[in-house]
Structure 1
Amino acid sequence: MRDPDAAFSDPRQAVLHDVLDDDRSDLDAYVALVEEVRARRIVDVGCGTGSLAVRLAALGLDVVGVDPAGASLDVARSKPQAERVTWIHGDATDLNGRVGGADLVVMTGNVAQVFVSDEDWAATLRSVAAALRAGGWFVFETRRPEARDWETWDLPPTSVPLEDGRTAVVTRTVTRVEPPLVSFESSAAIGPDVLTSTSTLRFRPRSEVEHDLRAHGLEVDDVREAPDRPGKEYVFVCRRGGGDRGFDRGSLPA
């Protein structure tokens, strides 16, 4: 697996993440889905600073959060309810032999797109399937390449107040578009310090994602819109074969 981006692995930047991305209403749909599928054991792959993991733990659920960025996990461990979560410093392959029988595995945000190589993506799907019980659910989102949303990503210098009274001036610039890969650079200037991070995401078409899921024993039950980004993302609702569905698909949130 490639190393995590500096935005998550640099301690100076990891502590800024929740401030710069403070609207996590996108997680509401995941909480609703956890309730609908009656999941009790949940694995959050690429949990980052733990916003979803601690929220689910506060509901009394058994939650594992795994992320390769140690600095992000340090932020996650400082949050209320963090002691209720099992944190694993690593990627999905580090679940192998350590976590099994999960009712639900989730990947929120851009996590599914950081696996730019076929090998890393395949290893992740194998590990997700192994972590699930028979009939367990795998839910994740990925941006639709045909929406070309990267054309809206450039951000001119924008001031963001920090909790300690300082101000960060943040920017984002798309630096390369070579489908299926898109690269961009983000920066945060705080006083004399300029913190930068370079990221590359892979935009897989729906047909490719569905093929890859089937190849790893993950059946696509539904593909839907992300409530906070209509028309821009696919949300894949999948399950590992071999178990009872446990509920009517029609009860899933739209």
Structure 2
Amino acid sequence: MAVLAERSAHRVADLGCGTGRLAIAMAEAGHEVTGVDPAPAALAAARRKPGGGRVRWLQGSADRLTVRSLDAAFMTGHVAESFVGDEEWDAVLRGLRRALVPEGRLVFDSRDPARRPWELWDPDGSRRTVVLDDGDAVEAWSEVEEFGRNTVHVTERYRFSDERELANSATLRFRTEPELRDSLREAGFRVDRIYGGWGREPVGLSGDGEFIVIAIATPRLMS
């Protein structure tokens, strides 16, 4: 949110908005917000939330955004890791660049593969209890299969109090800092800052093991 104040950004998009927590918060702070997500169920939940009517919701990806309609764009919650293939990732960045005005900001997070965070996602190390809104306690844990360079397949498993089990799987790609910089440059961005953690620490000096990326749209509009 501090980036919005730096830029005096009014028109903002949240790509991979999920159920809209960040998008609604930005709208309630006075910004004109578009939330974009491929999952219709997530968008339906977002619309039902208090404040959901303040946000324009779109199903899809960055290609749904209007050219030069944004002052800033966000991808939070490690959404950037879900774009596994280089062509898919490059298309997302180009779509965001087209949607941003020159000097507009792109902000996203991605975990540093040098820390190999997925090694902590074994069933024992990741096992936890989640309490739902209705008070039901759900046991949750992760299972990971590493099948490529900095690429993993993650399955989140949930066991309810009535012994029902559900599973949700995703493939994630953890790009290195040079890979992120190169892809941003090719898409028409220049990197302003990359932090290593939520306290704005330098890369490699934070226990968070993050890349917090702030990039600026160059005047060159990508086709």
Q: Name the TM-score, length of structure 2 as normaliser.
A: 0.88
Map of 1:89 onto structure 2: 59
1:226 and 2:194 correspond = no
Correspondence for 2:171 among 200, 213, 219: 200
Q: Runs (4+) of structure 1 moved beyond 6 Å?
A: none
Deviation at 1:109, TM superposition (A): 1.4
Deviation at 1:58, TM superposition (A): 0.5
Query: Aligned pair in 2 of structure 1 residues 99, 87: CA closer, same or farther (>3 Å)?
Result: farther
* Structure 2 CA distance for aligned equivalents of residues 193 and 231 of structure 1: 33
2:159–2:166 CA contact under 8 A, matched in 1: yes
Deviation at 1:199, TM superposition (A): 1.3
- Runs (5+) with no aligned partner, structure 2: 200-205
1:157-179 alpha-carbon deviations (Å, 9 max, x no partner): 43322221322111111122532
Deviation at 1:148, TM superposition (A): 0.9
Letter in 1 for 2:57: W
* Structure 1 CA distance for aligned equivalents of residues 169 and 129 of structure 2: 20
Map of 1:133 onto structure 2: 101
1:142-165 alpha-carbon deviations (Å, 9 max, x no partner): 111101111112244433222213
Query: Aligned pair in 2 of structure 1 residues 158, 236: CA closer, same or farther (>3 Å)?
Result: closer
1:173 and 2:150 correspond = no
1:141–1:226 CA contact under 8 A, matched in 2: no
Map of 1:34 onto structure 2: 4
For this pair of structures, how many residues does the alignment match? 211
Q: Name the TM-score, length of structure 1 as normaliser.
A: 0.78
* Structure 1 CA distance for aligned equivalents of residues 50 and 12 of structure 2: 18
Root-mean-square deviation (CA), in Å? Answer: 1.7
Map of 1:154 onto structure 2: 122
What is the 5 A alignment of 1:119-130? 119-130=87-98
What is the DSSP-based 3-state SS (H/G/I as helix, E as strand, rest coil) of the residue aligned with 1:44?
Answer: strand
Map of 1:215 onto structure 2: 186
Map of 1:20 onto structure 2: none
1:35-68 alpha-carbon deviations (Å, 9 max, x no partner): 2221111010101111100000001110000000
Letter in 2 for 1:144: D
Map of 2:202 onto structure 1: none
1:102-154 alpha-carbon deviations (Å, 9 max, x no partner): 11011001111111111111110110000100111111111111011111122
Letter in 1 for 2:55: V
Identity %: 37
1:188-239 alpha-carbon deviations (Å, 9 max, x no partner): 1222421101111101111111111111111111111231774511111111
* Structure 2 CA distance for aligned equivalents of residues 198 and 45 of structure 1: 20
1:143 and 2:114 correspond = no
Deviation at 1:99, TM superposition (A): 5.4
What is the DSSP-based 3-state SS (H/G/I as helix, E as strand, rest coil) of the residue aligned with 2:18?
Answer: coil
